[in-house]
Amino acid sequence: MADTIRWERGEDGIVLLTLDHPGRSANVMNDEFGASLAATVDRLERERDAITGVMLTSAKQTFFAGGDLESLVRLNDAAALDADTRRLKQALRRLETLGRPVVAAINGSALGGGLEIALACHHRIVADDARIEIGFPEVTLGLLPGAGGVVRSVRLLGIADALTNWLVRGQRHRPSAALEHGLVHEVAPREELLARAKAWILENPGAVQPYDVKGYRIPGGTPATPVLAAQLPAFPATLRKQLKGAPYPAPRNILAAAVEGAQVDLETAFTIEGRYFIELATGQIAKNMIQALFFDVQAANARGAAAQKFGRVAVLGAGMMGAAIAYVCAKAGMQVLLKDVTVEAASRGKEYSARVLAKKPFLPAEEILGRITPTADPADLAGCDLVIEAVFEDPGLKHKVFAEVQDVVAPDALLCSNTSTLPISLLAEGVTRREDFVGLHFFSPVDKMPLVEVIRGSATSAAAVDRALGVVRQLKKTPIVVNDSRGFFTSRVIGTFTNEGVSMLAEGIPAATIEQASSQAGYPAPVLALMDELTLTLPQKIRQETAAAAVAAGGTWTPHAADAVIDHLIAAGRPGRSGGAGFYDYAAGKRAGLWPGLRDAFGGTNLDVPFADLIERMLFVETLETIRCLEEGVLTSAVDANVGSILGIGYPAWTGGVLQYANQYQGGLPGFVARASELAARYGARFEPPQLLLDKAARGERFE
């Protein structure tokens, strides 16, 4: 078993422990680390009389990456996990009670297990580097900090601060914010970390943890403190409001571990934390989230071998999407030519970047803004090696802007269209180098959404797809690759979700019930509220274009029950939030409640549909459409489906993604088939299981 901790003792008696897992790019909390830590603490205790103090630092780019997710995602043995976590916590507890000062010299990001190790030190010094992140992101993977993180953060910060700012939402803080909260003690230049650590050790030979001092009180008190006792009922109420009934157990377990642990001694608190951790780690939801949000995202990010770095990009169109794309390109180091019909319009697009940067003081705003040049002259685009078009969704307009620039930019420039629904093969008709034409579908808001859908047209070369993957990597976003079709994967599938929610209105189901069902399913936005954000005219236009294309190809078009509802609202002057009215009323741009006229127009008295059916209709309809995308070759991998559905269109993360939802449904794929058939009998043929699903279920397979 590899030794993951290097030991060096200086003449001053200070031991430097360097975390350095051989053969890994990052340190992780696995069996090898646990054994190394226990052996290291054994040696510290044996040689304590010759030791002045201890410093912990890392040989990796990060301080410590956290738990070993490869082991966790496969582990189902609760007893074995309990034994492992107990041993780890015992070793950390022995370290902090060594009787010698222990300092963490945090020279890289300390997330999850890395922060738990640092909290077991008496003093924490972080390098002054805005790239470093400090936090407990476990909740975003369905877990909680299981190596003492809940217990120590509560004792150091108090229940309210620990829960609100660190644990329940998994925030990642910059070093300065961690210092402000008091979770670290110093922020120093990287080259001074060890010198400052040594100085602190020499000045504090009798250092102990604050909570080991007799009479120490948790900041803000315990649940027995009258003031805190009066505030505590608000915590679960706030949590319920945030979760909206969605099945995410990790925040609930974190809250319980924090409150219960604050009422008992330290060792008992560790035991309580451990039980809540094991419940999560052995549960299906954490496994779903780890697989999708870590391993599947990792696999998506690893694709493509292109080494080209793009230096000069032409962004065509300075509207909302073009302006946002220009920002992320400039932030990634590219020189951006932001083109619109007038310099004034292009300059307004650049102002978007200034507004975003004003909220991010840790970024070099002047440098990033200096990379964006507004222009209306195609000649200024000479030499651009990348073109990203982001004009209005009209094939004729897109053809026009590409015709204007394709002979001006570099002769081998990659030509990309940011379209959400229009077939790439259709748009490629507007360029002469169709093999270099590819779809790059960004999601709004571009600066926050991590996904980009790369669409391969019928003439797109493999080299162009590879180069497009390189663009996405350069922008530090996650790509999925899909083949061409109207709506591609993400727009096509999210359309089934919104249509399902709207069609429920046509069935007379109360709007508030529909919204509650989508929230309890785990969608980040209720379905009717989401429709208002997208604007109702967009799906109407997409539907009209799709119907026209189907008829032109000699086929037929079958209206959806949602169509009449959307048409009714548009005719009533309620096109969505941007128009000031939609399914919701708005006051000063903010939602002011569902429009009472929905009940008059659609009844809203149908209370006969089981609530569980409403939830599963939304989840099932997206999964079934995804399977059809696989059948048709639009999708070629489960990774793209799962990653794209969660990161791009808000499919509930607890499921692990659209295809994993079917895999993990009760009874596996056969159980999913049975439930889909039941929904089809009640609500229509759109729930009929596709043949690919039937075949896989019959063979005992999964979507992988």
Reported as half-sphere exposure (CB side, CA atoms, 13 A), residue 143 has a value of 28
Q: Assess contact for 145 and 136: CB atoms under 8 A.
A: yes
DSSP per-residue string spanning 338-395:
EE-SSHHHHHHHHHHHHHHHHT-TTS-HHHHHTTEEEES-GGGGTT-SEEEE---S-H
Strand partners for 19: 5, 58
What one-letter code names the amino acid at 222? T
Q: What is the pairing mode between strands 335-339 and 372-375?
A: parallel
Largest CA distance in the chain: 88
Question: How far is the C-alpha of 542 from the C-alpha of 681, rounded, in Å?
Answer: 29
Are the C-beta atoms of residues 359 and 448 closer than 8 Å to each other? no
Tokens 């070793």, located at residue: 91
Burial class (CB in 10 A: 0-12, 13-18, 19+), 319: middle
Handedness of CA 689, 690, 691, 697 (dihedral sign): negative
Q: What gap in Å lies between CA 67 and CA 142, rounded to an integer?
A: 13
* Helix (H) or strand (E) segment spanning residue 644: helix 638-649
Helix, strand, or coil (residue 494):
helix
Backbone angles phi, psi at 123, to 5 degrees: -145, 140
Measured between alpha carbons, how far is 566 from 572 in angstroms, rounded to an integer?
A: 10
**E strands within 421-468?**
437-442, 451-456
CB burial of residue 18 (10 Å; 0-12, 13-18, 19+): middle
441 noted as active-site residue: yes
DSSP 446: T
Residue 594: CB atoms within 10 Å: 21
The closest of 687, 686, 628 to 659, measured between CA atoms, is 628
Pairing of strands 478-483, 451-456: parallel
Query: Is residue 210 classed as helix, strand or coil in its secondary structure?
Result: helix
Position of tokens 């900090």?
A: 145
Residue 253 makes CB contacts below 8 A (sequence gap 6+) with 144, 276, 277, 279, 280
Q: Where are the beta strands (DSSP E) in 20-65?
A: 28-29, 53-58
Is residue 371 within 8 Å of residue 330, measured between CB atoms? yes
- Measuring CA to CA, how many Å separate 394 from each of 307, 398, 399, 400, 486? 33, 6, 9, 10, 13
Please tell me which residue in 21, 123, 173, 441 is annotated as part of the active site. Answer: 441
How buried is residue 635: exposed, middle or buried, by Cβ count under 10 Å (0-12/13-18/19+)?
A: buried
From its phi and psi, is residue 700 left (phi > 0), alpha (psi between -120 and 50) or beta?
left
* Catalytic residue set: 441
